[in-house]
Structure 1
Amino acid sequence: MFLLRLQFLLPPQRRHLACVALLCSLPPAWRVAQAQEGHLPEVQVRGPRDAAIGSADSASEGAAEQASFQSRPKLRPGDIVEAVPGVVATQHSGDGKANQYFLRGFNLDHGTDFAVTVDGMPVNMPTHGHGQGFADLNFLIPELVSGVRYRKGPYFADSGDFSLAGSASMDYVSALAAPFAELTLGSRGYRRALLAGSRTQDDRTWLGALELAGNDGPWEVPERLRKFNGVLRYAQGAQAQGFHVTAMAYQSHWTATDQVPERAVDEGALGRFGSLDPSDGGRTRRLSLSAKWYRHDAAGQTDISAYAIDYRFDLFSNFTYFLNDPVHGDQFEQTDRRRVFGAQAQHRMPHRIAGLDGVLSFGAQWRGDRIAQVGLYATEARERLSTVRDDKVSQDLFSVHAQQLVNFGERWRGYAGLRGDLLRYQVRGREAVYGAANSGSGHDALASPKAGLAYTATPQHEFYLNAGGGFHSNDVRGATIAADPQTGLPAQRVPALVKGRGSELGWRFAPSDRLSVTAALWQLRLDSELVYVGDAGSTEPGRASRRHGLETTLRWQASPAWRLEADAAWSRARFVGTPPEGEGNYVDNAAERVVAAGAVWQQGPWMATLRLRHMGPRALDTVNSVRSRPTTLLNLGTRYTVNRQLTLGVDLFNLLGRKGNDIEYLYASCTARELLAGACGSEGISGRHVHPMEPRTLRVTARMQF
């Protein structure tokens, strides 16, 4: 425990050494001892089971079991969220940056309306240097994840900030079946080493993992990703009561190839995997310490947890090249230095209300972000030229929630809930010209009602009706801004919390444990599509919007050897009202059609997984004048168990060698070549900018268990 505290007291350059010391402090006997009867809840070892008839509260909630998502080939750690039906995770920069997410008619950027938690800690970062809700999952070690629980829509009282479109919750296991060492080598300089193990004695378990990784990728300017990751967990107790404490440490640095103008590729002036600014890239670090105590018995379930996170982020990007600064170029640096503290408690208790069986759940949450520096700077080759924004921010989100579930009979059950959130914030600008004008403090509060009804028509069919209000927070610098930091012109302030309202009609069909089919018809209204533009240091006040769509899922254990999965999602996203002159009502870059399918075959020592993901075209501007191209990605993974100790695996990504794009944008830019030719004018050249999918990529893995 002393070393756990020491990690946060060491200077920044020494903290990664503390994590190594923590891992080395594990007892030398790595073989897992037999646990005493009742030790460690099954959910911690095997992960959650999918939602079922009689227990689910909506058609769009569920859980991806460990065996399902662990078998999938994963190009990046963040790909694990694609276990959530309808979610697409892509990348438009280096592998050290957060993924780009799509769900339910949203281009979620890096997580604005998709809440992600790991081990009870929130991943989304409010008032972030790059973008609101930035959810970087590169610190995740997928092999330790016990399961992925997910929900869609703002229908549940315990779902808070960033969860309007959906949420995903991941926990780490507290014990491993056996310690192991894993080595992966792949195309274009990919290498990864992972060492993990646990030791159990009586009701106490130590678990540790250490990951080292590097990658150059297909880029003409090598990515040179260097990544260090460590986890140490101590768990004690039994299924009825216990606690665990977890320390994590992660850091990485990389060179990024950002999106490039498609016109330059078509003209042959730039290779498909080329770069227009070889100094783009970044570095990040995340240290955390979390703890959870639980007690589950006949009287109810109580869970109390707390966490502390130390986070650093530096990112250098250049999306317009020489449009704004023909001399030095348009590269900019975004920084974030913060510590995050939080605590939450929840209690569930069965009881009777008006003679009916029910379950009352209630809880409270607090999250405090102490941001020592969130900044935006004009740079050239990673050297600062000027300051656009430099702020110190403090914000606290206090939340309480309660939800009452009632069983009205054998077939009907329903719930009603209420959530209250209060955000307090203070911004202190330190930029010399406009910093004082853009400083300020304030608060905002929302009450969000929730309700749901379930009807079990037969033991195989269940129908759901859900509705509720929710919200996402905005970058609080937009709530105090007075002057645009780029132009000095008056800027419009925006609310710190933006309300959304949604509803859903769903159906679940489960004739046996081997087959499950769901369908959900949903709609969501947002008061505003407000977005803080980290590239410019200002807030864009957007219009109100409406989305609706249809989602279906299939899970089928066709035979002992075959498991089949399929998901399909169709969405329509539009702004509401009469559009301004020159604009339309399409929500630009909103996902419209996503289809995913997979097959897992396991026979004796062999296992093979085939995964297909298709993302249809979408409008790149509000008038739908330019649409993205559809992308189809097919991945193959195979495993062969040589003996009890050794397993060999081969993953082949982009099996068909498709030349699609991970992301496409429509905006104006000016390259150095175009600048010299005098072709840019004052507004640049508008066009499609793309970041390509990686080409066919091979990775080979060997795992040795001890």
Structure 2
Amino acid sequence: MPHRIQLRPGRRHPLVAAVGLACMSHVSAQEAAPAAAEQPERVEITGRHYDNAIGSSDAASQGTIRAELLKSRPALRPGEVLEFVPGVIVTQHSGDGKANQYFLRGFNLDHGTDFATFVNGLPVNMPTHGHGQGYSDLNFLIPELVERIDYRKGPYFASTGDFSAAGSADILYRTTLDEPFAALTLGQRQHQRLVGGGSSGLGQGLKLLGAVELLHNDGPWVVSEHLRKANAVLTLSAGSRAQGWSTSLMAYDAKWDSTDQIPQRAIDAGLDRYGSLDPTDGGDTRRSSLSGEWHRHDGSGSTKVAAYAIDYELKLFSNFTYALERPATGDQFSQQDERTIYGLSASHAVDHTLGGLAARSEFGVQLRHDRIRVGLFDTEARTVIATTRDDKVRQTLLGLYGQTSVELAPWLRAIVGLRADRAQFKVDSLSEAANSGSASDHLLSPKLSLIAGPWSRTEFFFNAGRGFHSNDARGTTATLDPKTGDPVDKVPGLVAARGMELGARTEWIPGLQSSLALWKLDFDSELVYVGDAGATEPNRPSERRGVEWNNRYVPVPWLLVDADLAWTHARFSDADAAGQRIPNAVDKVASLAVTARELGPWSASIQWRYLGSGALVEDNSVRSSSSLTTNLRVSRQLTKKTELTLDVFNLFDREVNDIEYYYESQLPGEAAPVADKHLHPAEPRTLRVTLRVGF
């Protein structure tokens, strides 16, 4: 997370102001920082939900979301906590044990290629993954443990590296809980969830937190999903926010049957929208980790050191083309991934002067090493019948960064940063020796930010920088297509992106906090590994630009209104007869939420979420349908420690789709492939009731 400093004499950074922290009852008085001398006046409820006040960030599109906001709205799936990041939409095109689809700034991010996500300091994105580069599975997240989400958009921040060109989010867990709790959720279609946790002191300053989650869900599908999930977290910590340490052990396991996307022509012919063309699709996954961090913050600077080890496995069975390639057995395939990941990071920031000007400099190092066994196999009813490719991969990414923030004038601050990344790949192909080999790549990424103001409780931002995502290691050494045997060109290990943003944030109107960002992001080439085909496909250079307008309004202390609107213009930047549109780049995204809290024993929230239409092919001749869904949460405090909550998803039972694609497939009995829309429907109206008890 970048240090957001306020270097004006007599002022402290509002992020550490006691106004924002005092609203969180689990933070002790000795951990809270002193109140700012000139803290901007804010309505209390805003501080409980956001830390996005004037002077708190380095970009208009950067901010922090507090746990109080996460409690106020329902989430159908764990990954939907990212929808609290303005402009992000989270959907699903398969079983709920698989990573979500993410949309942001004109990207169909697939499963996370250009949005870097971290949970409790652990990276979620998986490079050289069996299903897709940057695969980001958040299903192991326990929302009740989240303390805050720090988000950033664009490649302007020196501390963020791989997969963060469009943005990144740090989801930070608590180390203590207000009180032990247990919550039971029951819902339609055999949804059952039990979660509980607690924390206590062990003496000598030690604190122990534990939490367990069990979940089962069938969903609305004709072939029941039969999702079974077990999840656990154990954290030992000591010290305070000023100086301390923590170590966490996490374990997650899930199994499910999935209903993948189906063609529109099959629905027109009578197939149920929630039906399946291959009832044996599904998967299982597990993830366990051990991590630790140590930190120290004082009046002159801060230091942080962290390390982690992750053990991960996925077996995924999918069929998107049905009988196109193998009419006799069907086109089901399995993507399998087993890996161990080791990582280390360290950073040090210090306050100093530069040419007589107040300044703060930060330097950091980040190291990640993946040891991977990854494969793609032809299967029939989850039985392997042929091997497309099978590889052992060793991949190491080293990042070094430095940045300096200087107060050039009482109204102007500049941040200059530089990041250097080097990637090394070693591929041992067990199925085709010609695709074995070693490769390396490196990239320098300069960063620049200017922050001006505030004037009339308004500040302005200019941000520019270079970012990147890594490519699948197998593409950096491949010489033959694994399916056809045709020669292929090797691809670079790192793909650069260049971004720029002009922004403003204002609190000029009492109770209203607004931000506006005009942004642009260019990729030299969106080279991606297509896990479904086992090959790397070079995509064309692209450019995206857009506008984001985000608003937080507290007209009265018990009412919070969130309104976010994002518009994007996404095009390929070269000349091609196929057309200039980027498939699955959504043009418009909007969200409106109204939250009423503490009206006696009652609280309520209603949210409208709009996902606009997007081109499905380059010439814009086929477009996806837009969708508008409404979610409702109503809670009642039964006793001081007991709360009952009703969540209603898709309140008006609208028939909308989570995802749409356009490609060729062939149904059993069809004489030739057919180009068609393929869709995965959103769930119909769904009710869930939760009883939460504190102890």
Could you tell me how far 1:41 is from its partner in structure 2? 8.1
| Aligned position for 1:11 | none
Which amino acid is 2:453 matched to?
A: T
How far has the Cα of 1:550 moved from its partner?
0.3
Structure 2 Cα separation of the partners of residues 513 and 650 of structure 1 = 33
Query: Secondary structure, in 3 states, of the residue corresponding to 2:113?
Result: coil
The amino acid that maps onto 1:685 is V
Q: Once the two structures are superposed, what CA deviation does each residue of 1:410-466 show, in whole Å capped at 9, x if it has no partner?
A: 1111110000000011000001xxx20111101100000000101115141111111
Give the distance between the partners of 2:424 and 2:26, measured in 1 at CA.
49
What SS is found at the alignment partner of 2:126? Answer: coil
| 1:528 and 2:534 correspond | no
Distance 1:34 1:546, change over 3 A: closer
Match of 2:459 in 1: 462
Task: Report the counterpart of residue 38 of structure 1 in structure 2.
Answer: 30
1:246 aligns with 2:237: no
Summarize deviations over 1:447-503 as a string: whole Å, max 9, x none: 000001011151411111110001000101011111001100001211110001010
Equivalence for 2:216: 214
Read off the aligned partner of 2:600 and give its amino acid letter.
G
Q: Select the residue among 243, 260, 264 that pairs with 1:258.
A: 260
Distance 1:703 1:192, change over 3 A: same
- The secondary structure found in structure 1 opposite 2:507 is strand
Match of 2:666 in 1: 670
1:40–1:237 contact (8 Å) kept in structure 2: no
How many residues align? The count is 658
2:6 corresponds in structure 1 to none
CA distance in 2, matches of 1:36, 1:213: 33
Q: CA deviation at 1:37?
A: 5.3
- Residues 327-476 of structure 1: matches in 2 within 5 Å? 327-371=328-372, 373-431=373-431, 435-476=432-473
- 1:126 corresponds in structure 2 to 127
1:487 equivalent to 2:479? Answer no
Amino acid at match of 1:38: Q
Query: Which amino acid in structure 1 is aligned with residue 220 of structure 2?
Result: P
| Paired amino acid for 2:30 | G
Greater mean deviation of Cα atoms: 235-244 or 692-701? 235-244
Structure-1 separation of matches of 2:159 and 2:510: 28
Question: Is the 2:49–2:68 Cα contact (8 Å) retained in structure 1?
Answer: no
| In 2, Cα distance between equivalents of 1:509 and 1:34 | 30
Supply the AA of the counterpart residue of 1:523: K
The residue type equivalent to 1:599 in the other structure is V
Q: Hey, what's the Cα distance between the residues in 1 that align with 2:196 and 2:312?
A: 24
Query: Structure 1's 362 and 480: CA in aligned 2 closer, same or farther, altered over 3 A?
Result: same
CA distance, structure 1, for counterparts of residue 255 and residue 267 of structure 2: 27
Q: 1:125 and 1:35, CA in 2 relative to 1: closer, same or farther beyond 3 A?
A: closer
Secondary structure at the residue paired with 1:188? coil
Contact 1:184 1:701 in 2 (8 A): yes
8 Å CA contact 1:175, 1:207 repeated in 2 = yes
In structure 1, the residue matched to 2:617 is 621
Instruction: Kindly indicate whether the alpha-carbon contact (under 8 Å) linking 1:35 and 1:203 is maintained by their aligned counterparts in 2.
Output: no
1:24 corresponds in structure 2 to none
Aligned to 2:78: 77
Residues 1:543 and 2:544 are matched in the alignment: no
Deviation of the 1:38 alpha carbon: 2.0
How far apart in 1 are the matches of 2:211 and 2:511?
Answer: 34
**Paired residues of 1:203 and 1:238 also in contact (CA < 8 A):** no
Contact kept in structure 2, 1:552 and 1:567, CA below 8 Å: yes
Residue type at the aligned position of 1:362: F
TM-score, normalized by length of structure 2? 0.93
How well do the aligned residues superpose, as a CA RMSD in angstroms? 1.6
- Offset at residue 515 of structure 1 (A): 2.2
> Distance in 1 between the 2:622 and 2:27 partners?
60
Deviations 1:24-46 (A, max 9, x none): xxxxxxxxx99975258899xx9
1:9 maps to which residue? none
Whichever residue aligns with residue 407 of structure 1, its letter is E
Q: Is the CA contact (8 Å cut-off) linking 1:35 and 1:202 kept in structure 2?
A: no
Is 2:575 aligned against 1:578?
yes
For 1:569, the aligned partner's letter is A
Corresponding residue number in structure 1 for 2:39: none
Is contact 1:665–1:690 with CA below 8 Å preserved after alignment? yes
Matched, 1:557 2:554: yes
Q: Match for 1:505 among 490, 499, 502?
A: 502
What's the CA shift for 1:347?
Answer: 1.2
Match runs of 1:16-35 below 5 Å: none
Describe the SS at the equivalent of 1:584.
Answer: coil
Aligned to 1:278: 279
Counterpart contact for 2:26–2:178, Cα < 8 Å = no
Matched, 1:601 2:559: no
| Most deviating of 410-419 and 506-515 | 506-515
Q: Which moved more, 1:570-579 or 1:52-61?
A: 52-61
Corresponding position of 2:512: 515
Q: Percent identity?
A: 51
Partner of 2:19: none
CA contact (8 A) 1:225 1:254 kept: yes
Determine the structure 2 residue equivalent to 1:229.
231
CA distance in 1, matches of 2:284, 2:128: 18
Show CA shifts across 1:32-78 (max 9, x none): x99975258899xx999523222321100001121112211000000
| 523-532 vs 34-43, greater mean Cα deviation | 34-43
Letter in 2 for 1:680: A
Q: Secondary structure at the match of 1:109?
A: coil
Distance 1:87 1:409, change over 3 A: same
On the 8 A contact 1:41/1:238 being kept in 2, the answer is no
The answer to whether the 8 A contact 1:178-1:705 is kept is yes
Q: Is residue 568 from structure 1 mapped to residue 570 from structure 2 by the alignment? A: no
Q: CA offset at residue 239 of structure 1?
A: 2.9
Q: Give the counterpart of 1:636 among 626, 632, 647.
A: 632
Match of 2:22 in 1: none
State the 1:156 CA deviation.
1.0
